[in-house]
Amino acid sequence: MELIISNLTKTYSNGVRALNAISLTIPQGMFGLLGPNGAGKSTLMRTIATLQDADLGSIMLDGVDVLKDKQAVRERLGYLPQDFGLYPRINAETMLDHIAQMKGIGNKAERKELVEALLNRVNLFKDRKKGLGTFSGGMRQRFGIAQALVGNPSLIIVDEPTAGLDPSERNRFYNLLSEIGENTIVILSTHIVEDVNTLCSNMAIICMGEVLMQGKPKDGLAMVNGKIYQKSIEKTELDEYRKEYHVISTKLISGKLSLRVESDTDLGNGFVPVPADLEDVYFSFISKKVDPITI
C-alpha cells in the first residue's frame, strides 16, 4: 500500500503559496514529515485528510483518488489534528461510542466491544468514565489516537502529536504509534526531530511549501556525515562567524554559544569534527531556506 502525492500545489487567497508542487511517495509504516512552523505541513495534512482542496496536483491512496473520491478516503482514514475539540463533560467511553456510530458501526454490541478494545489499547480503560475535560495532555492525545483508530483505517495522520507532552507521556505515545505503524500508513507531521528519529523508517523535510529532502533517515545522515563541526563562541561573535561559515544551528550552553557548522573541508580555527545526527540533517536543509537563528 502506498500514498502517492504528485505536484500538489495550494495558494491561499492572501497570496501565500502553502504548497509548491509537492511530490512524495509514502509507503506503509511510519513516515515523518519534518518542517518548521509555517512550512506547509498542516496544509498538506488537511488536504490529504480531504478537509480542503488543492489548486493543482493529485493524491492517490492504493488506487483511490483522494481529491475526487473523498468519501471513500474518509472511510479508510484516521486523523488526529494538532488541535482537536473535545466535549469536556462527556466521558471517554460515551464519546468514543458516539464516534463509532458516526463511522457507521450501528450494532451496539459491536460498538461496545470496539470501544473497550480501543480504550485498553491506549491505556485509558480505567479512565473511561472520566470527563474528557479532566484529561491531561497525554491522555487527550491517547484518546485522539483511539478515535483515529475507529473503523480500522489504512491511513492515519497525526499532526504535531507530542507537542506539550512530558517525557513519560511522550514515550507512551511513541510506543503506541510504533505499534500502529506496523500494519498501517502513519504520517507523523512534526517540527520535533526526535519524534522522527525515534519512530520513522522514512521521512521528508519540507520548508516554505517545498520538499527539500525525502528518503530514509540514514540517507539524510549519509549526506552530512563527516561535514559537521562544532565550536563554542561568545554570543557577540555570532555575526562574524555567520559571515565566514555555513552555520546551520546554534545552542546556548552555560552562557556560551555552541555553533554547528557544515563544511566539506576541515575548518581548523578551533572547530572540532562531531558525529552528525538527524537534527543536523534537518538544519542543513532548512538553513538553506530560512535564517538558522530564527528556526
Answer yes or no: do 246 and 195 share one domain.
Answer: no
- Chain position carrying cell 489504512: 154
Answer yes or no: do 199 and 228 share one domain.
Answer: no
Helix axes of 92-102 and 137-149: crossing angle, nearest 10 degrees = 30
Condensed to tens digits (0 to 9), the pLDDT of residues 187-243 reads 998 888 988 988 899 999 999 999 999 999 999 999 999 999 999 999 899 999 999
pLDDT at 165: 76
Helix residue ranges per DSSP H, 7-62: 41-48
pLDDT at 294: 43
pLDDT at 172: 81
Condensed to tens digits (0 to 9), the pLDDT of residues 130-166 reads 999 898 888 888 888 888 888 889 999 988 877 777 8
Answer yes or no: do 177 and 191 share one domain.
Answer: yes
Segment 249-271 mean pLDDT: 91
Three-class SS state of 73: helix
129 part of a folded domain: no
pLDDT at 102: 84
Condensed to tens digits (0 to 9), the pLDDT of residues 37-82 reads 889 998 999 999 999 999 999 999 988 999 999 989 988 899 888 7
Residue where a domain stops, chosen among 184, 217, 250: 217
Question: What is d(CA 291, CA 236) in angstroms, rounded to the nearest whole number?
Answer: 17
Answer yes or no: do 238 and 181 share one domain.
Answer: no
Condensed to tens digits (0 to 9), the pLDDT of residues 3-36 reads 999 999 999 999 999 999 999 999 999 999 999 8
Answer yes or no: do 188 and 283 share one domain.
Answer: no
Domain that holds residue 69: 2-86+135-217
Answer yes or no: do 251 and 283 share one domain.
Answer: yes
Structural domain count of the chain: 2
| CB contact at 8 A, 202 and 216 | yes
- Residue 183 is classified by DSSP as S
pLDDT at 295: 41
Please give the residue that has the higher pLDDT: either 288 or 34: 34
103 part of a folded domain: no
Burial of 60 (0-12, 13-18, 19+ CB in 10 A): middle
- Residue 244 is classified by DSSP as H
- Chain position carrying cell 474528557: 132
Largest CA distance in the chain: 72
Residue where a domain stops, chosen among 217, 250, 272: 217
Residue where a domain stops, chosen among 180, 202, 217: 217
Q: How confident is the model at residue 292 (pLDDT cuts 50, 70, 90)?
A: low
The DSSP element (H or E) to which 223 belongs, if any, is helix 217-224
Distances (CA, A) of 256 to 81, 103, 238: 38, 54, 11
Answer yes or no: do 148 and 251 share one domain.
Answer: no
14 part of a folded domain: yes
